[in-house]
Structure 1
Amino acid sequence: ERGRFVLANGSGAIVAAADPLAGEMWLVVADLQGKAQNARITAAAPVDEADIRAALADRIETKRETSFDRERRAVRVRETARLGAITLSERMLPAP
């Protein structure tokens, strides 16, 4: 949803849909007002994923999950990179 963001700690925050930041994929949030899922972002700047990965590489956790798809009778492997509660990327990998 436009203007709604998930913070690394798992809380939610919003900016007004008309705010230019509402269309950004990633924000660095400097100040919030309010609590939990309805906190209003009052100071933030856009950032791109490459800068997040470079600056916070030591805090990004990458996990691989393997499962069996019974319908397709195939092994599926998914790799997810997260910064706290934020999913940076998720992709399917070739089966082993």
Structure 2
Amino acid sequence: MDEGTGSAGEARNQLSKAAATDMAMRQCRIGGQHCKVIIAYYNQCVAIAQVQGRTGFFIAASRAYQSDADQYVMSECSSHGTCKVVYRACSDAIRIQ
């Protein structure tokens, strides 16, 4: 995410953190020049909350269950203003044979 422009990227279903980071950064750089990874996760769910009307302020967390990730970011974010979950996703476990 580029906190200055709000540009963001995401990656799902990648087999490595490096591949996921590369994909997300390429997407983010379309609209931002100062992109950085704010959270990486695997075999978990993630939520990112933002204070409404405030650019560049995010709370991100990963948890085993989506509801737990949502609850945590909203709890942490709400002390800074009115918040909204702006991104949520889960990564499924990959079976290795």
TM-score > 0.5 by shorter chain: no
| Rg (Cα) greater in structure | 1
More strand per residue: 1
Determine which structure has greater relative contact order: mean sequence separation of CA pairs < 8 Å that are 6+ residues apart, divided by chain length: 2
TM (normalized to structure 2)?
0.27
What's the TM-score once normalised by structure 1's chain length?
0.27
